[in-house]
Structure 1
């Protein structure tokens, strides 16, 4: 499951509207505000410069470390972000938002057990905040503890029932355990909250595909793409559906587009292997599917199409 985007820039600490008479305190506050302004202008490099100036004045300034970590995230510098979050937490041990962001970063880095520790800390700090249970759900999903993930997302949704992303996460877990009817019921409720949520339509397309309703799958994923053209896995899914509608070259084009957008997505490589099986190209199919079967033996369709490739 694709992790949902949290707009943490809304949490930038711009509350420094009043400062003490101390000149250093005022200076570091102004640098923090200037950095936040640059973040709002989508200029994280310049923002980091201002945060560094604030830290020169006060090397224990947790908010500056936190905001600098967000700037690193914007530049996809996850390891550097984690280092800054470590410092933010060192100088402010109960820093809820820093634990939350660090947990998300650990997930991005594949450090799932460290992310679980941060999720546990969030529960200790505030078990009535939906983010505590949201992070728990993301972690348990990555660790393949799907019933626990579902419980966590349900709890998060109870606390924040207007958040359609949390409902889609529940539907995704039900999809993983092949409860398609349950997943569709939850998606219907999410539609009433936010019909413009692209992941909702993408997930519905995946259910249609499992039900072999390929035209319906195409329509649903096209809706997702129309709402968000930046997600590589939307194009990959549409490419897969086109393969099963015997539009192989159009499907391959979209799969290749997805790989260019996200070269690390193994599902796109799987779909390319499926394309070569459908084309009867044994050598090329085995090139993709053999390695995927070794790395991801539980991935849907891999074993099935590897066997078909071997029999070509």
Structure 2
């Protein structure tokens, strides 16, 4: 099992009303920015980058071009490049709220949690009345396993944006980590009332059912999540795990392998392959997967339990 995706993709399209002559610098760089934004909306990040670079050739201090260039790099999964561009946007506009927010999310994606915390603190200083400030702070504290602080931040964000179902799912996720399943389910019910089409709430509900050994219910919930969003690797990984525990080993392995193809870096999928090999009685393969995970992720659930089972085969 794995947590929800936390990046809220915000691609603000900056519209400029241009009062300059056709040949002015502002007019030229503004046109390149708008062309880049159009390509970004079309998911054509490579061509968007070209237009933003053209704008920056005209003005190397153009903060908006650096910011949107960073967004294009995010679309291309180029985190280091995105971080560099968001930092340049902030360099040339020290109060660039959206740049701090996106850089903070990128730091979290890059495993730089304390840098993400610094950006969350900057957001709170810039605008504590914006729910994004508390949301990023919650994500940081969650990554640092400061669950009480994370829950407090997500609650504050939810108070500022009560119609945002994602923020209820974030709170439910913290309760799930704390094994407070009733509180988590109550929040998921609230989230579903606001937005029944939110795939993450169905995925989290499936994880709760799995913890309660309600494997059929877990499978039903994760199927709802996949129906709503078939692009999330860990939904398939979770479904594969549930199938293993329902005795459908080969069907489960197929989905776990599909998840690994979609996201090769997910250690939970590797754990589930180790569990598969334990269930198949393949001691060597099981230990190969689970030994390494036990070393690198000693707190991951089910790893120690199934490593011991593998060693007893």
Return the TM-score normalized by structure 1: 0.97
Deviation of 1:25 (Å): 1.1
Measured after TM superposition, the shift of residue 5 of structure 1 is 3.8
Provide the residue aligned with 2:203 in structure 1.
Answer: 202
Q: Deviations over 1:167-203 (max 9, x none)?
A: 1010011001100011000000001100000000000
Which of structure 1's runs of 4+ aligned residues deviate more than 2 A? 1-5, 17-22
**2:133 paired residue number:** 132
Per-residue deviation, residues 45-84 of structure 1 (Å, max 9, x unmatched): 1111111111111111100110111111111111011111
Give the secondary-structure state (helix, strand or coil) at the position aligned to 1:212.
coil
User: How far apart are the structure 1 equivalents of 2:298 and 2:287?
Assistant: 14
Q: State the number of aligned residues.
A: 310
Residue aligning to 1:3: 5
CA distance in 1, matches of 2:288, 2:198: 36
What do you get for the CA RMSD once the two structures are aligned? 1.0
- Structure 2 counterpart of 1:152: 153
Distance 1:140 1:40 in 2: 32
Distance 2:119 2:107 in 1: 9
Q: Counterpart of 1:304?
A: 305
Contact 1:255 1:272 in 2 (8 A): yes
- Counterpart in the other structure of 1:70: 71
Alignment correspondent of 1:18: 18
Identify unmatched segments of 5+ residues in structure 2.
Answer: none
Deviations 1:70-126 (A, max 9, x none): 111111111011111111111100000000000011011111110000000000000
Distance 2:258 2:49 in 1: 33
Q: CA deviation at 1:20?
A: 3.1
Does structure 2 retain, via aligned residues, the 8 Å contact 1:4–1:165?
no
Question: For residues 60-99 of structure 1, what are the structure 2 equivalents within 5 Å?
Answer: 60-99=61-100
Structure 2 Cα separation of the partners of residues 190 and 106 of structure 1: 28
